[in-house]
Chains A and B, each alone.
Chain A
Amino acid sequence: GEDVEQSLFLSVREGDSSVINCTYTDSSSTYLYWYKQEPGAGLQLLTYIFSNMDMKQDQRLTVLLNKKDKHLSLRIADTQTGDSAIYFCAEGGGGNKLTFGTGTQLKVEL
């Protein structure tokens, strides 16, 4: 079955870079996604990467994909307090279904 795992918690200082990691098992995924969830809110799509790409950069966000190791990471440069949230990776399976990771809570300290 599909299984997507993330570390539960990450704490960084404001201005530093954050790296959130994700491992997945379904090699047939076409797209891999990163979503952000703030307390009591829905999910906001941050970025996505097509499975045949290795890297995608979008302003402060850099996504790295190692398809061989089934490893996905999200790097947030110059992390701000407004980046504090839960970050979910997700892989796109058949029928447009998404399998979500366990979520990583990012805490940004001053």
Chain B
Amino acid sequence: GAVVSQHPSRVICKSGTSVKIECRSLDFQATTMFWYRQFPKKSLMLMATSNEGSKATYEQGVEKDKFLINHASLTLSTLTVTSAHPEDSSFYICSAIWQGARDTQYFGPGTRLTVL
């Protein structure tokens, strides 16, 4: 159990376009999901907390209008990078909290975004 998927696993887009990344909890329901960003050889930086049925909570310094988060159901959260620029290129990882497992976070496999 506790599988989290992300789609797509890899995306290349042109500067100025928008990209949507999906995060799904496959075998459990998650009222809370998190979105992280990871730079090469660096740790994970929390971007925002995604709450089912309500607005996401963004960390300081993260532009909410640029990184749109929608948590429309108990198994799906989406992150849309709007008007992407090369500096948005990164590895984006989501996680979902499984309340049935002491609120443990389970992570998706990540999405590699490259903006040309």
Whether A35 contacts B107 in the complex (CB less than 8 A), given A42-B6, A43-B93, A100-B44, comes out as yes
Given A42-B109, A43-B93, A96-B44 contact (CB < 8 Å): no
* Of A31, A43, A96, A102, the contact of B107 (CB 8 Å cutoff): A43
Which range contains the number of B residues in contact with the other chain? 20 to 34
A103 proximity list for chain B (CB < 8 A) = 41-43
The DSSP consensus for interface residues of chain B is: strand
Which residues of A lie under 8 Å from residue B97 when comparing CB positions? Answer: 96
Q: How many residues of A contact B (CB 8 A)?
A: 20
B103 touches A97 (CB 8 A): no
Q: Who on chain A is nearest to B10 by CB?
A: A40
A19 at the A/B interface (Cβ < 8 Å)?
A: no
Q: For chains A and B in complex, what number of residue pairs have CB atoms within 8 angstroms? A: 49
Inter-chain CA distance A101–B42, complex, in Å, is 10
CA distance A41 to B49 in the complex (A): 21
Q: Is the CB of A42 within 8 A of B32?
A: no
Asked if B105 lies at the interface with its beta carbon under 8 angstroms from chain A, I say yes
The complex places the Cα of A35 from the Cα of B95 at a distance, in Å, of 12
CB-defined contacts of A101 to chain B, threshold 8 Å: 43
Q: What is the 8 Å Cβ interface bit string for chain A, positions 21-51, against chain B (1 contact, 0 not)?
A: 0000000000101010000111111001000
Assess whether A42 is in contact with B43, with CB atoms less than 8 Å apart.
no
Q: Which B residues have a C-beta under 8 Å from some C-beta of A?
A: 4, 6, 32, 34, 41-44, 46, 49, 93, 95, 97, 102-110, 112
